[in-house]
Amino acid sequence: MLKIGVIGLGNIAQKAYLPVMAQMQDRVDWVLCTRQPAKLAQLQAQYHLESGCLSFDTLLEQPLDAVFIHTPTATHYQYVKQALLHGLHVFVDKPLSENPLEVAELYKLAASKERLLTVGFNRRFAPFLQKLNHLPDKQLINITKTRVATSQPTPFAIYDLMIHTIDTALFLADSLGTNYKIRPYCQQDANGNLQLAQLTIETPRQLISATLNMQSGTNQEIASLQTPHGLFTVDNLTRYTTQAAEDSRIQTAADWTPTLETRGFAPMIDTFITALETNGANPVPLESSLLTHQLCHEMVHFTK
């Protein structure tokens, strides 16, 4: 059985990770870590998880195989580096870092230690986006995320929200190779809050776009893909639409399908654990994740 630490037990961990982890105790002994004794006791009781500790240093003293890191982005570099230097595999929330030099350094360290460093891009594992990804002859790929009257500083919005549209677009695209062009666009208000951003990637065979609209009239996430065989769309990860010359079909997630399954969290965690058990490949390939982080950096740089 694997023994895996979990540090950072806030909102994301409680909503998206701990419910899945609690169902995997036949495969993993989870060790929760927080500096707050009351929170530790409450979450251990809620999810029936026996092991816990009150500091990251204490966590690293245990015979762990890996660690899940769900702390604020600013702490990722420190915690990931410390874990890798202890010889542990690492799963960390996106982004790995907002500094591309730190991202490159941590991936290089992981490679030197022969450890997995996996960034939690859950959309890659959402069943309907997996279905889109397997379509042949992709021509146009469009990923759009919208928010209702939302004000966030541009760097935060790009690394918190637009990073998903960029990474999903790269996941669905063929390998970009070296012959591609990028065209960034950002619109901000007078206070430096992001209003609208789009990244277009042109390759010899595909046109790819990732868009974030912070001033839309709806909260939505749409992935659309065009091929010679039709138009294929995934709405909010829960509805898959096929439109062709002579046919139109809609498929929705079954009523009983858990939200963490349709949004990709459950299969993502399972895939990472399976990779540890089987010495398998990184569920989120290094090259693709590096490019996602680099493009986010370029979007932020474009606005300055």
pLDDT digits (tens, 9 = 90+) for 38-86: 999 999 999 999 999 999 999 999 999 999 999 999 999 999 999 999 9
248 and 143 Cβ atoms separated by less than 8 Å: no
Cβ-proximal residues to 210 (8 Å cutoff; 6+ apart), any chain? 143, 144, 162, 165, 166, 168, 169, 198, 199
pLDDT band at 304 (very low <50, low <70, confident <90, very high): low
pLDDT band at 289 (very low <50, low <70, confident <90, very high): very high
Rounded Cα distance, 145 and 7, in Å: 29
Rounded Cα distance, 299 and 302, in Å: 5
**pLDDT over 70, % of the chain:** 99
Query: Residues 72-93, buried b or exposed e (16+ Cβ, 10 A)?
Result: ebeebbebbbbbbeeebbbbbb
Average pLDDT over residues 183-204: 95
Return mean pLDDT, the chain: 96
What pLDDT is recorded for position 255?
Answer: 82
Count CA atoms closer than 13 A to 129's CA, side-chain side: 31
- Phi/psi of residue 303, each to 5°? -80, -10
158 by Cβ neighbours in 10 Å (0-12 / 13-18 / 19+) ranks as: buried
pLDDT, greater one: 34 or 179: 34
User: For the range 228-233, what are the long-range contacts, defined as Cβ-Cβ under 8 Å and sequence gap of 24 or more?
Assistant: 228/137, 228/139, 229/135, 229/136, 229/137, 232/132, 232/135
Average pLDDT over residues 186-209: 95
- Whether the per-residue pLDDT at 199 is higher than 70: the answer is yes
Rounded Cα distance, 72 and 40, in Å: 18
pLDDT 10s digits, 244-280: 888 899 999 888 889 999 999 999 999 999 999 999 9
The 3-state DSSP class for residue 231 equals strand
pLDDT 10s digits, 22-48: 999 999 999 999 999 999 999 999 999
Strand order in the sheet with 207-216: 181-188, 194-202, 207-216, 140-148, 220-227, 230-235, 239-244, 247-252
pLDDT 10s digits, 121-156: 999 999 999 999 999 999 999 999 999 999 999 999
Where would I find the beta strands (DSSP E) of the chain? 2-7, 28-33, 51-53, 66-69, 89-92, 117-119, 140-148, 181-188, 194-202, 207-216, 220-227, 230-235, 239-244, 247-252
- Whether the per-residue pLDDT at 95 is higher than 60: the answer is yes
